[in-house]
A and B are shown apart, each in its own frame.
Chain A
Amino acid sequence: MGWPGIPSGRDSTIREPNDLRVAIDTGGTFTDCVYLDDGELRVLKLFSTPGDPSLAVLDALNKIGAGRSIHVRHGTTAGTNAMLERKGARVAFVTTAGFEDTIAIGRQTRQRLYDWFAPIPICLVPRELRFGVPERVSAEGAILCSPTDHELAILAEQVRASGAQSIAISLLFSFANPETEQRVEAALRCLGLPISTSHRILPEFREYERASTTVVNAYLAPLIQTYLLHLEERVGAQHAGGRVDVMQSSGGIVSARVAAQEPVRTVLSGPAGGVIGAWQMARIAGFEKIIGFDMGGTSTDVFLADAGTAGARLTRESVVAGVPISVPMLEIHTAGAGGGSIARFDAGGMLRVGPESAGAEPGPICFGRGTQATVTDANLLLGRLDADSFLGGSVSLDRQRAEEMLRAQKGSLATAEEFAAGIIRVVETQMEKAIRVISVEQGHDPRHFTLVAFGGGGPLHACSLARALRISRVMIPAMPGALSAAGMLFADTVRDYSQTVMLSGEALATLDPIYAEMEQRAIADFRAEGLHGSAERTADLRYRGQGYELNVPYDSHAVHGTLQTFHHQHQQRYGFSDVARPVEIVNLRLRMIAAAEPYTPAQRELIAGDGSAACYAKRAVFFDRRILPSRFYRRDALLPGDRIAGPAMITEYTSATALPPGCMALVDGYSNLVITVNEGTGE
């Protein structure tokens, strides 16, 4: 699997040459717009319009592309929000009779091991909306029992009477034989509701995860369909021939029409853009192995990408808002701590930061309304935020208020500053732990990676975090505030297809017909969008008896190579392999890709400088347990080739980079900050 944006020899999409390419990422606070204007990348930032997110999108388009034909790529939080707030559709869940409750039972585990008062999980499908069909398909795909037409008519009547707004159908072993599922679908079509069927959404075994994925799709379908199709209509009305594509959680682009049918594929649209954006910028700057670190207000996302192993990693075991989703998504690990996380001493006297967050309301103390110490207050108190330029001066920070309240809450610590420094250390310890989960715990040594930091808080904490992990290089990409939109702009168009087959390894050479069938479907789907793509075949293999699979590239003319790769990967990831052990073919996967137009930004010449023209202040900043006089630089005034030594702060609109003593930042030819981190002064 190749990752996008990086120049590649693949066929590119068919597109009018004078299209204006735009990517718009709707976030909680800002709607970021990135576009290519005469080969130059430009950024526009607007405040989001939560009531109707499309208003900000249309507004942005008006501002940049009046009268031009427009090709929009969009990242939306509509799906995530509907899931978090449980505000999706009333879904009727139709499954094999006797298994109606499985959608609620799940894997029968509890989320919190030691909490007798854990809340009752809310199933997306209330019980009165679960329906059973008298039918059964065997593991081998044989139909053992199927419903009569009369029984299907009764089912349709029951679903109609239930007041459902959307339908999810997931029968046992439907991926092995979809016939009954198709009959049920046909019988329910007369209701005129959106229908999601499991053999189309996710034709893979493990009934709960497949059903759950199908239900999420149905849950979001009415809302997302309305939103996306309206948006496309309005874009088309304003800009003749305008078209809208959407970022999927997998990091690939898909048309709005397809996204409207399969909204489950776009729930983590925005974060996926961030991963792709960071990865692209790093590749262009010449870094092949990165750990991404995106620290926001309430949480922090970390991820790992390695050019040697297919770039950013995909997972099929995501959980969003407590609900499993098994379509491919970029693997992003989230830690429950960010700038707004609240610090407190627990009953045993230990300092804790998060997971409670001050959020936007009341927000940190320094925003004027909050009363509990947060990470942002600590950074302000230690001189690491520029009170005047924070968010371009649109939010004024009350340092005195923060200082007074931190002093009142400092417990047995000597000073408010000591408390603040402690908050920073504890939250950075949590970030370090999150990065260890995606690196060390998966067999990667973080010292071989470049830490790519973005988001409001990432650059503030990146250097000291790198020291703790013994990472010697940090990169703060250009446009850290619009990275997600940039990622969308240059992502490939991708659709994923899969099929559980559960065959013995000996069948490896005979899989061509199944792949060919998937490929035909993929080609037809792309053709319908006016696209021409190329297909990549992979297979999920495992040793017989195992409960997990490894995904390896598949070539019917070189199946021995496929097997070798499997044994090799198994050795690498799990520490052992056994060529004598029988292998099982679990899932076949096909990824259809139409590569984005290659884009390489012009690299500007490096002219050695010290950035003094960008220096606007000298202030006291707390670094490594000391208060040090530090220079403050405006990032947008720095030039390629400038070198800045810590202690220093480099501030910009959405963020600030803290450069501790011993660190050296270089502005590279693409305006990234590339920081060399020396071993710290230690504990």
Chain B
Amino acid sequence: MKITVDAIELAVFQSAVHSIAEEMGAALRRTAISPNIKERRDYSCAIFDGEGRVIAMGDHMPVHLGSMPLSVQAAIEAIAFAPGDIAILNDPYAGGTHLPDITMVLPVFAATHTHPVFYVASRAHHADVGGTFAGSMGPAREIFQEGIRIPPVRIVRGGKVDQEILDLILLNVRTPLERRGDLDAQIGACRVGEMRALELAERYGEGNLRVLIDELLDYSERLVRAELRTMAAGSFHAEDWLDDDGVTDTPCRIAVELRFDPHAGSVVIDFAGSSLQVEGSINAVRAITTSACFYVLRCLLAEDAPATAGILRPLTLITPAGSIVDARPPAAVAGGNVETSQRMVDALLRALAQAAPSRVPAASAGTMSNLTIGGVDPRTGEPFTYYETAAGGMGARPRLDGISGVQTHMTNSLNTPIEALEYAYPFRVRRYAYRDGSGGAGEFCGGDGLVREVELLTDAEVTLLADRRKTRPYGLNGGEDGAPGRASITNAAGVEVELPGKCSRRVAAGSVLRIETPGGGGWGAKPQQLQNPNSSDAPAPSSQRHP
């Protein structure tokens, strides 16, 4: 049966492949053990064609968008796959992003083929992969301190788990039982994807599949090009800064130039001029930079547009080798994923705002305010490691205030309920509130950040990985900048000490840690009377979603 691809076949096929990615994600969420995967949903699943081009991805973590395909490419290059194999990898310098993100890749062989017709992949952020700091997200200076590095290798061969490889990995992490469970869940998710992909292959046949996949990728490309054709011709340059790398005080520059060709519906994104890679852990590999660009292009489309390899076709990405946006070994990279990725988006949007001022919001908080606390729980005598990110203010939008206290851009993970937190850890939360007045003023106001105060009921090691202390989230079109972030510790005697954005400290029981996250930038010049910036209260003006 030969089909001609029309608008209907395309819609049916797109739905089918997307539901494979969704079903893999559901299986992973269901079977994983650690809260970071189950509750905070820090994972992604995707399906790729026989050439490793992504054709569908579950909508979970934007930071995984552009980087998953590179994992699959790396696995294909490194391994001569046979049926029943599954590859595992996390090395940022061979298809990974940062070490806690472990990706598995399964080639799908249809009955009579010697070549995979699909690949499926699952990625999850593991709560610990070894290294100097519990949680593997600390202020390291080279990648060797950040945990175990896994190049693309086979964790499953011919359908059987390679126990030797697994043992090697588990011996290098702090919580091997939990890791084992989460890795099993990833294998399971890949097998769910394999089963469904085989059904699809059987239903359509290889010839038809190829036609449909090509059409699906062309379709994504058309969507992006249609948007790019509406952009102003020319080049638009912007820069933004990370405060420092946590080792020295030197600010790190993210520079970007967008060169639009509306006639071709294409764009060149050039990060020339960005800082050289740094001593601290905020270096990003190119996969992260690709994700940031993918995210921005994806946001130009409708909310439900499929994320496929076609989206990146109109893009030419230029990253200087050995820079903070294209780091080389042995640079430490844990924070590149969570902090530098956000700043790249800030720089990209600042440039985009020049080309399409009515379509771009002011800067959002721009930091995930990563907090790790480790110690021994006096109630049980057992060690604990707590990790959480805190939301901030969303930048104001043209004709719309920013939202207060909400995850923006490259992340969307949930908070841990206070009552769950106090059951699980020796903490007492003192305050969790909007940080009034932190959103930048303007015709439309930036969303406010959050304030969180946590009293430590035991001595503990507190590690902070946050930014936007010096360079504030920018306003646009005359709107004011959002307030910078801040953190401090007040000891039992009432003495308050301010903390730098990136640090690790021993803190005594009875101390109160206070974190204030940045507000979003404002949009448009402030009218005579200052508006109440707390956006969640006011009735929302109607959405001005484009197009």
Contacts and interface: CB of A to CB of B under 8 A. Distances in A.
B432 A101 contact: yes
B263 interface: no
Given A123-B536, A205-B419, A348-B223, A108 B405 contact: yes
Contacts of B492: none
Given A105-B405, A105-B434, A109-B407, A436 B23 contact: yes
A53 B536 CA distance: 33
A122 interface: yes
Contacts of A421: 8
A205 B420 contact: yes
A341 B59 CA distance: 23
Interface in B1-33: 1, 3, 6-8, 10-12, 14-16, 19, 22-23, 26-27, 30-31, 33
Given A101-B434, A119-B540, A429-B11, A576 B181 contact: yes
Contact of A104 (B38, B536, B546): B536
Nearest to B38: A547
Interface in A587-639: none
Interface centre among A101, A127, A425, A502 (most CB of B within 10 A): A101
Interface in B21-53: 22-23, 26-27, 30-31, 33, 35, 38-39
A530 interface: no
A237 interface: no
B420 A110 contact: no
Nearest to B397: A117
Interface string A136-172: 1011000000000000000000000000000000001
A122 B534 CA distance: 12
A426 B8 contact: yes
B140 to A, nearest CB: 26
B208 to A, nearest CB: 9
B220 interface: yes
Contacts of B301: 114
A271 B492 CA distance: 54
B226 A546 contact: no
Contact of A110 (B1, B184, B403, B434): B403
A545 to B, nearest CB: 7
Contacts of A443: 30
Interface stretch (B151-159, B248-256, B315-323, B423-431): B423-431
A347 B226 contact: yes
Interface in A180-229: 205-209
B299 A116 contact: yes
B361 interface: yes
B432 A120 contact: no
Interface in A82-124: 98-102, 104-105, 107-110, 112-123
Contact of B219 (A118, A122, A349, A502): A349
A516 interface: no
A346 interface: yes
A345 B7 contact: yes
Interface string B284-304: 000000000001001101110
Given A114-B62, A120-B400, A205-B420, A107 B432 contact: no
A422 B8 contact: yes
Contact of A117 (B3, B14, B19, B400): B400
Contacts of A138: 422, 428
A205 B421 CA distance: 11
B537 interface: yes
B279 to A, nearest CB: 32
B538 interface: yes
B519 to A, nearest CB: 14
Interface stretch (B114-122, B237-245, B408-416, B482-490): B408-416
Given A112-B303, A205-B417, A345-B7, A547 B423 contact: no
Given A173-B419, A441-B23, A109 B31 contact: no
A101 B407 contact: no
A57 to B, nearest CB: 33
A99 B432 contact: yes
A116 B546 CA distance: 9
A1 B191 CA distance: 34
A575 B30 contact: yes
Interface centre among B7, B31, B361 (most CB of A within 10 A): B7
B299 A118 contact: no
A420 B408 CA distance: 40
Contacts of A55: none
Contacts of A426: 8, 11-12, 15
Given A101-B433, A114-B299, A120-B536, A546 B11 contact: no
B544 interface: yes
Contact of B31 (A114, A351, A547, A575): A575
Nearest to B298: A114
A520 interface: no
Contacts of A436: 19, 23
A110 B408 contact: yes
A432 B16 CA distance: 10
Contacts of B412: 109-110, 113
A352 B401 CA distance: 30
A429 B419 CA distance: 41
Interface in A345-392: 345-352
Contacts of A122: 536, 539-540
Contacts of A575: 30-31, 184-185, 188
Contacts of B511: none
A429 B10 CA distance: 11
Given A107-B415, A425-B8, A576 B31 contact: yes
A514 B302 CA distance: 52
Interface in B522-547: 534-540, 542-547
A433 interface: yes
Interface in A386-442: 411-413, 421-422, 425-426, 429-430, 432-433, 436-437, 440-442
Nearest to B398: A117
B160 interface: no
Nearest to A103: B536
A433 B19 contact: yes
A662 to B, nearest CB: 18
Contacts of B538: 120
B309 to A, nearest CB: 14
Contacts of A352: 11
A435 B125 CA distance: 29
A683 B33 contact: no
B203 interface: yes
B213 interface: no
A208 B299 CA distance: 30
Nearest to A345: B7
A413 B542 CA distance: 35
A115 B406 CA distance: 13
A139 B391 CA distance: 25
B7 A422 contact: yes
Nearest to B6: A413
Given A109-B414, A207-B417, A123 B422 contact: no
B38 A546 contact: yes
Nearest to B37: A547
B355 interface: no
10 contacts: A98-B453, A109-B407, A110-B403, A114-B298, A115-B545, A116-B397, A347-B227, A350-B10, A574-B31, A575-B184
Sorted nearest first, the 10 A-B pairs with minimum C-beta distance are A422-B8, A441-B26, A98-B431, A120-B540, A547-B39, A108-B391, A348-B223, A351-B7, A127-B537, A104-B536
Interface of A: 98-102, 104-105, 107-110, 112-123, 126-128, 136, 138-139, 172-173, 205-209, 345-352, 411-413, 421-422, 425-426, 429-430, 432-433, 436-437, 440-443, 502, 543, 545-548, 573-576, 683
Given A98-B431, A348-B223, 18 more contacts: A101-B405, A101-B432, A102-B433, A110-B407, A110-B408, A113-B62, A114-B303, A116-B299, A116-B359, A116-B360, A138-B422, A205-B420, A349-B10, A351-B7, A351-B8, A351-B10, A351-B11, A574-B31
